[in-house]
Structure 1
């Protein structure tokens, strides 16, 4: 699967299209650092993961999504008004996303404010 297809599904806000890019047993782990509300336990299943990621990415004015590399993996960096508000890292196996790491912790997003 291309990272662009996954990013397009994220940007489009269509939960069914986003879930279709994921394995049915996909697992999401999130990090809010105690400063942003995120699930405390892993989220499992394409529909549930799609809902969590879509909510985190949102569709606010000034939102921009870029595909970048994070630790050698494809990721979508979400910025609003030039400031990073989420980094969504995907592990892909074949044509589907099998794991998602959702970073919302503001302390960990500082270095992502400027596009790379």
Structure 2
């Protein structure tokens, strides 16, 4: 029943679509419409504790709006998220995602996204 409810919620979410692009190295983290990744800045490596990754995401809207959208959308992928004034932290199993608003006063958002193991 839980899987059916998650599937229904997943299908009805507004920002996700079947042809959604996911960020390489970041499990179940979609690149939402209107965002772009600076793939040249992406760093991914494995440690004994798990994968560590970092990338930069750009938006044509303020990062605050992007963080609010991710805080809702990532729940559909099983992440448990907590929103801070300049950040979004999400955890799932042994992974933690941290979105940081790099310039809170900018009209176009720049966010640093990190994946790290939960210790």
Greater RCO between the two (CA within 8 Å, min separation 6)?
1
What is the TM-score with the length of structure 2 in the denominator?
A: 0.37
Could you state the TM-score of these two structures normalised by the residue count of structure 1? 0.38
Would you tell me which structure has more strand in proportion to its own residues?
1
Give the helix-richer structure, 1 or 2: 1
